[in-house]
Amino acid sequence: MFEKGLLAGKRILITGGGSGLGAAMGRRFVELGAELVICGRRLELLEDTAEKLRSDLGGKVSAVQCDIRDGADVDAMMDAIWREAPIDVLINNAAATFIAQTEHLSFRAADAILAPTLHGTMYCTLAAGSRWIEARRKGVVLSILSTSTITGRAFTVPSAMAKSAVLAMTKSLAVEWGPKGIRTVAIAPGAFPTAGASGQLRPEGRDENWASRNPLGRPGEHRELADLASFLISDSAGYINGEMVVQDGGAHLRSSGAEDLLQWTDAQWEKQRAARARS
């Protein structure tokens, strides 16, 4: 679909690039000629993903351990990256979520979602943006959000709050940093099955026919999201700024995706809490 060298000459950092959608985007970016840095907390997972990409595609891929909840860690990672060469694109992909009745969330539980998804995303954006602006370099920030930014989402309230805040950041910085040559864009994916999302959002017994209720009758394919991301960060999308593209097969026009959970009994929620306590 794209010319082979679409992303040639671009150095891209993907937060949470070791797994799921982050890894899928990384693979596509390398196929299209980009140089890649991936970060996350699990170094072994990152090294494995980077090694696989190097051996499959022969590209330049490196892995950095970083907990984006920690601003000092983010700064240290950016300093280390910049010592080698500045990045041109930041992909804010790392995030956390789980389903829970909101009234049962402790403050620590709320923070477990808000810290990476909101604060960590802000730290990474600030750390990249301030370096770009100081060096008068251009840049692109692509954040992976959710259709909960449009519909809200019962039972994943801290995630919906954090994603909505990052959408506000995307729109605000489009105006503030656009004149400095930095574009900010976002994708709102619908359901793109990954081990992380299924583990946190789809316990056994939950709405097993959810995929067929999508207007297109299926979940998203990782390659579809990776292609959209490749376009949005490429120079071909150079006039798109402050925009969030929804990629969900039309699902949010029909439902926020949490309606089945409204039917859950107290016993089902009790079972869900107990499963968490055991893990």
Ligand X SMILES: NC(=O)C1=CN([C@@H]2O[C@H](COP(=O)(O)OP(=O)(O)OC[C@H]3O[C@@H](n4cnc5c(N)ncnc54)[C@H](OP(=O)(O)O)[C@@H]3O)[C@@H](O)[C@H]2O)C=CC1
Contact positions toward ligand TC6, by CB under 6 A? Answer: 95-98, 100, 106, 108-109, 112, 146, 148, 153, 156, 159, 196-197, 200, 276
Which does residue 19 bind out of ligand TC6, ligand X, none, counting CB within 5 to 8 angstroms by kind? ligand X
> Which string of b and e fits 220-257 if b means at least 16 CB within 10 Å?
bebeebbbbbbbbbbeebeeebbbbbbbbbebbeeebb
C-alpha separations of 240 from 12, 16, 189, 243 in Å: 18, 24, 18, 7
C-alpha separations of 121 from 16, 22, 71, 84 in Å: 11, 14, 10, 22
- Closer CB to ligand TC6, residue 72 or residue 195? 195
Beta strands 89-92; 182-189: pairing state: unpaired
Alpha carbon distance 33, 96 (integer Å)? 29
Nearest approach, Cβ of residue 134 and ligand TC6 (Å): 32
In the block, residue with structure tokens 């709320």: 110
- Closer CB to ligand X, residue 14 or residue 32? 14
Nearest approach, Cβ of residue 225 and ligand TC6 (Å): 13
Which does residue 45 bind out of ligand X, ligand TC6, none, counting CB within 5 to 8 angstroms by kind? ligand X
Which does residue 69 bind out of ligand TC6, ligand X, none, counting CB within 5 to 8 angstroms by kind? ligand X
Nearest approach, Cβ of residue 180 and ligand X (Å): 26
Q: Which residues bind ligand X (CB under 6 A)?
A: 15-16, 18-22, 40-42, 45, 66-69, 93-96, 116, 120, 144, 146, 189, 191-192, 194, 196-197
Nearest approach, Cβ of residue 41 and ligand X (Å): 3
**Six token digits for residue 103:** 């009234």
Nearest approach, Cβ of residue 187 and ligand TC6 (Å): 12
- Closer CB to ligand TC6, residue 93 or residue 230? 93
Determine the residue with CB nearest ligand X. 196
- Closer CB to ligand TC6, residue 32 or residue 100? 100
Which does residue 40 bind out of ligand X, ligand TC6, none, counting CB within 5 to 8 angstroms by kind? ligand X
Nearest approach, Cβ of residue 34 and ligand X (Å): 18
Write the CB contacts of 261 (distance below 8 Å, at least 6 apart in sequence): 99, 154, 155, 206
- Closer CB to ligand X, residue 16 or residue 139? 16
Nearest approach, Cβ of residue 8 and ligand X (Å): 25
Alpha carbon distance 264, 244 (integer Å)? 32
Q: For residue 167, which phi and psi values (nearest 5 degrees)?
A: -65, -40
Question: Would you put residue 138 in left (φ > 0), alpha (ψ -120 to 50) or beta?
Answer: beta
Which does residue 47 bind out of ligand X, ligand TC6, none, counting CB within 5 to 8 angstroms by kind? none
- Closer CB to ligand X, residue 44 or residue 270? 44
| Residues 125 and 99 sit within 8 Å (Cβ to Cβ) | no
C-alpha separations of 99 from 221, 237, 269 in Å: 23, 35, 10
